[in-house]
Amino acid sequence: MHHIAKVAIEGFWETHSIDLRLFPEVTFLIGPNGTGKTTLINLLAAALTADFRTLDQIPFKKMTIHLTPADDPEAPRITVGKVKRADRPFEFIEYRLKQGGKGAPETKYSLEDIEEQVLVRRYAGDPRRLREYYFRTSSGLLKELQKLVQVNWLSVHRTPSIEQPSGDRSFDSSVDQRLETLSNGLVRYLSELSKQKDNEVQSFQESVFVSLVEQQASVDMFDTTSLTQIDEFHHALTSIFGELHVPKAHTQTLLSSFVERAETVKRDIASQGSERSGGMSVDDAIVLLNLRRIGNVVDRWKKLQERLAYVFSPRDKWQTIANELFQRKQMKLTASNELQFESRTGKLLTTAMLSSGEKQLLILLTETLLQRGQPAVFIADEPELSLHVLWQEKLIGSLRALNPAAQIIVATHSPDIVGPLSDRAIDMETLIP
C-alpha cells in the first residue's frame, strides 16, 4: 500500500490549477470558508474510491495523484479526468492507473459507453447497488484502486455516497449510521483477535503435552531453586486452570495440598542445612521433580502471556486512549465484544446514549483501530465538529498513536486540531490565490 506524495489538478473550479505536495504523516488544509478545502478533499476522496457521483458534481478537468515513493518517476499514479466528445450528450469519466515499476504500462478504465453512463447516474441514489456494480464490472476499477491505496474516510457528517447504507434509514443520523456500521466491524475485528488467542492457547496446551515426553536434560537432584518459586507457581497454575476453564472445585483442594507439601519439603531441606548428602526422601525428590515440571509449564505460560499481550495491544491501546479522552465515562467491552459505557454514577450506557461529540470521537478512534496498523490514507473533513477543545488538541496524536503507519489529510478551521504541527499546514489561499 502507498501514501500520497503529490496531487495535481487541472481546471479546479474550471479556472484554477493546483499542485499540492503532501507531507508523509500529516497534512492540514486550512483557510477561510470558500477557499476550496472541502471541495479539494472531497475530490481527492472521490478519486481514490471511484465515487463517480461526487466526481460528476465537482467541477474539474483532470486530477493526477502521485503515490509514494516521492519524486520517483516510476512510482504508481492515479489519473482521473472528464472527457468530452462531440457524439456524447455528457462528459464521461476516465481513469488511468500506473501500478508502478520501470516500464509498467498505464491501464485505462473509461466509462465511455452511453449505457454505462446512464447506469451510473441511475444508481447515484442507490449507493449499495452502485458499489456492487463497481465490484461486478469486468474492469475491476475499485479493486485496482484498493491495491494501490487503502483509503479511510474519517469524516462523520460528510459520508461519501459510496459508503452510505441503503434502505429506509432516513430517520437515522449519519453519525448513528456510521457508529452502527463500525460497531459491527469492531465485533468482527475483536472476534479475530479472540480467534488468535484461542490458537495461541491451543499451541500452549500442545507444547505442555509434548514436554511430557521430551528428552529432559540432566538435572541436579539436589537443586532446590524451584522451592523459592512456590507462590509464583501457585498463582500461575491458578491462572492456567482458569484460562482452560477448569472448575475451581476441581483444582483448589489439589493446589492447596500440593503447595502445603512443597512448603513442608522446603522447611525440611532448610532444617537440614548444607548436609544433604545423607539422602533425600523419595517423596521429597518427587516434589522437587514435579516443581521442575511445573516451572517448565510456567515458563511456557509466561511466553504465552507475552504473545497475547502483543495480539491484544491494539485493542488495549484503543481502549486506554478512549478512556483517557472520555474522562467522565469508562468504555468497556462485553463478553460478546460489544461496546458498553459506565458513567461516574455506575449507570450502564449504550453507544446510542452518548453525546454527539462522544459518538464522533468514538467513530474516529474506532475507524483508526480497524485499519489494523496497516499503511492507509486517512482523509478527514472538519473532524473538529462537535468535539471539545481538549479533544481537538489530542485528536491527531491519538490517531497517530493508534496507527503510526497512517497518512492523515485534514481540512480544518481549528487551530487546536493543528496544534504544534503548524509546519504541516497548507493555506488554501496560497494554492488558489
Tens of pLDDT, residue by residue over 124-164, are 556 555 555 554 454 578 888 989 999 987 655 544 444 44
Binned at pLDDT 50, 70 and 90, residue 220 comes out as low
**What's the pLDDT score for residue 108?**
87
- What does pLDDT average to over the chain? 85
Taking the CA atoms of 14, 19, 25 and 26 in sequence, report the sign of the dihedral they define: negative
Q: Where are the domains of the chain?
A: 199-311
Q: Are strands 406-411 and 26-30 parallel, antiparallel or unpaired?
A: parallel
The counts of H helices and E strands in the chain are 14, 14
Closest of 352, 355, 321 to residue 339, by C-alpha = 352
Q: How many CB atoms lie within 10 A of CB 224?
A: 17
Indicate the pTM of the whole model: 0.82
DSSP state of 36: S
**What's the pLDDT score for residue 122?**
60
Binned at pLDDT 50, 70 and 90, residue 420 comes out as very high
**What's the pLDDT score for residue 370?**
94
**What's the pLDDT score for residue 59?**
94
**What's the pLDDT score for residue 281?**
78
| pLDDT, average across residues 306-331 | 95
**What's the pLDDT score for residue 89?**
66
Q: Percentage of the chain surpassing pLDDT 90?
A: 52
Q: What angle do CA 369, 372, 374 make, to 5 degrees?
A: 120
pLDDT tens per residue, range 362-386: 999 999 999 999 999 999 999 888 8
pLDDT tens per residue, range 2-51: 999 999 999 999 999 999 999 999 999 999 999 999 999 999 999 998 88
| pLDDT, average across residues 253-267 | 89
CA distance 384 to 357: 9
The better pLDDT of the pair 229, 92 is held by 229
Instruction: State yes or no: pLDDT of 113 exceeds 70.
Output: no
**What's the pLDDT score for residue 88?**
66
Which H/E stretch holds residue 107?
strand 106-110
**What's the pLDDT score for residue 19?**
95
**What's the pLDDT score for residue 133?**
56
The better pLDDT of the pair 216, 73 is held by 73
